Chains A and B, each alone.
Chain A
């Protein structure tokens, strides 16, 4: 199988301002900032047609990894090879301008994802169909609910001229019916040769949907395996111990 993306030794560093007793000290100076590695020594590949899930606790580096693959974060070390365009769905209002209408956001987002402007305008009816937003696309995005923004963001990513889809934990905002549709669309995207990298805390859904899971912890890739097996193992390790039944003192 051909690899759509390959990461070798990828590290992403965050420069965080130090806090003093007087509060945050705004500065560009390195002495007033300290470095935190959000990702460190990540080695990962994904083949065409593969759905790879990323799991891990909060702050494990899932979003940083997706943003790096999407070209939003630049790796500070290592190499990243991406074949084809990447369409990101990274947050509920991801990449949408709230003061613009749904239609205007369609053209803006698709253009920024590499679609020629004329094609972006022609794609608008398909966005309406895929998102199910209909006349709401005339309204400003700031009046949309989180679920409506998710629908729009997901439809845009699917119609972008991209062969890799990166999806962060945003599907949860969609209603039950649309979540089913999203799962179906993800499978079809992969079936057509597209690659999907997705992060979620919904392990059941991930095990069901993904071919493979990778686990991150403190920015490092610590486990990789078949989706169902790693999901079970992760749940076993992370499930909180059941409270012991209290014994009555007699």
Chain B
């Protein structure tokens, strides 16, 4: 049945590609791509100047920690900027997804209350858009690796493994953060600070081998981000493959966290349009 009106409505309901005609996966994928594009258009300046600005952020953090670790704490080491960047770049991705996730439903409330799409994709919007920033930030390693004459071949082949591991480790807290931010908005700042504590309670600034005491190194090693940072250092600085523990431990923690978080998220996702 087709109709063409004077004002331009044209409908062919017999061939209408309705939501019901596509698979759940296809709908989810289409929604994810559309919403990620919108997220990038809304929050990122995709011009050259914009990309330069993204690069400046981790570099500015690197400068702060370079002064803190190298001068104030008096722990200078070979290739300190590269050593710090191996922690700062993955950490920026982790916090960009987990901390931002707590405000995500509020930012998308208009879409959630007015459009039907698979709610599982909401945290993935953040993960996908932050992943783009992360991939661009990886370019910052190149000049430092050239300067310090790091020969990363063939260990650089581990990089995709580390990226997947980092995404899996961040995905669980991101899904959980979405639910937490909705039901406990007053606690967002506390959680934000606790997540930030995770940076200092790791090998981000000083290697575990240089941490004094018996128990403190164990605590820092229990932080799965330590494994991620050390793995990045292994391939980007020390020219060897990551250790089995540094790959296996964060991956296991990440998968367990993701499964638990997904179960919690799925339980509450149908409430999102009512609660936002």
A46 to B41 Cα, complex, angstroms: 39
- In the bound complex, residues from chain A placing their C-beta under 8 Å from that of B8 are 126, 129-130
What residue in chain B is nearest A49 (Cβ atoms)?
A: B1
With contact pairs A126-B8, A193-B13 given, residues A97 and B38 touching in the complex (Cβ less than 8 Å):
yes
Q: Which of B14-22, B51-59, B153-161, B194-202 has 4 or more CB atoms under 8 Å from chain A?
A: B14-22
For the complex, is A109 an interface residue (Cβ under 8 Å from B)? yes
**Nearest chain B CB to A127 CB, angstrom units:** 10
Q: Does A225 contact B (CB under 8 A)?
A: no
- Across the interface, A158 reaches (CB within 8 A) one of B9, B35, B110, B268, namely B9
- Within 8 Å by CB of B16, from A84, A97, A107, A108, lies A84
Q: Is the CB of A27 within 8 A of B20?
A: no
> Is there contact, CB below 8 Å, between B42 and A97?
yes
A82 to B116, CA, bound (A): 13
Q: Which residues in chain B, 177-208, are within 8 Å of chain A measured between CB atoms? A: 179, 183-187
A118 to B20, CA, bound (A): 20
Interface residues of A in 162-220 (CB under 8 A from B): 162-163, 181, 184-185, 188-189, 191-194
**Given that A158-B9, A185-B5 are known contacts, is A114 also in contact with B17, CB under 8 Å in the complex?**
yes
In the complex, B113 has a CB within 8 A of chain A: yes
Q: How large is the interface on B (under 10, 10 to 19, 20 to 34, 35 or more residues)?
A: 35 or more
Residue of A nearest to B22 (CB): A114
Instruction: Say yes or no: A114 contacts B19, CB within 8 Å.
Output: yes
Q: Name the distance in Å between B21's Cβ and chain A's nearest Cβ.
A: 8
Cβ 8 A contact of A100, one of B30, B42, B116, B184:
B42
Chain A 77-104: CB-based contact to B (< 8 A → 1; otherwise 0):
0000011111010110111111110001
Cβ of A189: which chain B residues have Cβ within 8 Å of it?
9, 11
B3 touches A113 (CB 8 A): no
Most chain B beta-carbon contacts within 10 A, residue among A111, A117, A130, A184: A111
* Chain B residue at minimal CB-CB distance from A140: B42
> 1/0 per residue B232-276: CB within 8 Å of A?
000000000000000000000000000000000000101101100
Chain A positions within 8 Å of B117 at CB level: 112
- CA distance in complex: A163, B2 (Å): 12
Q: Roughly how many angstroms separate A27 CA and B182 CA in the complex, as a whole number? A: 10
- Which B residues touch A184, using CB under 8 A? 5, 7
> SS class of chain A's interface: helix, strand, loop or mixed?
loop
Instruction: Describe B's contact surface by its main secondary structure.
Output: helix
Q: Which residue of A lies closest to B107 (CB)?
A: A97
Set B2, B18, B114, B179: member contacting A84, Cβ < 8 A:
B18
A105 CB to nearest B CB, Å:
8
Residues of A in contact, count (CB < 8 Å):
55
B273 and A109: CB pair below 8 A? no
Let me know if B31 and A194 touch, CB within 8 A.
Answer: no
Name the residue of chain A whose CB is nearest to the CB of B31.
Answer: A112
Q: Is the beta-carbon distance between A26 and B19 smaller than 8 angstroms? A: no
Known contacts A71-B116, A85-B20, A95-B111, A188 near B186 by CB under 8 Å: no
Does A72 belong to the interface (CB within 8 Å)? yes
User: Given A73-B274, A189-B9, A193-B1, A28–B183 Cβ distance below 8 Å?
Assistant: yes
Indicate if A74 sits at the interface (CB-CB under 8 A). Answer: yes
Question: What separation, in Å, do the CA atoms of A85 and B268 have in the docked complex?
Answer: 25
At the interface, yes or no: A145 with Cβ under 8 Å from chain B? Answer: no
Q: Which residues of A contact B113 (CB under 8 A)?
A: 67, 72, 90-91, 94
Could you give, for residues 110-133 of chain A, a 1 whenever the CB lies within 8 Å of some chain B CB and a 0 otherwise? 011111110000000010011000
On chain B, the residues within 8 Å of A97 by CB distance are 38, 42, 110-111
12 intermolecular pairs with C-beta atoms under 8 Å apart:
A26-B186, A27-B183, A48-B13, A72-B113, A88-B114, A100-B42, A111-B31, A111-B33, A112-B34, A113-B115, A185-B9, A194-B13
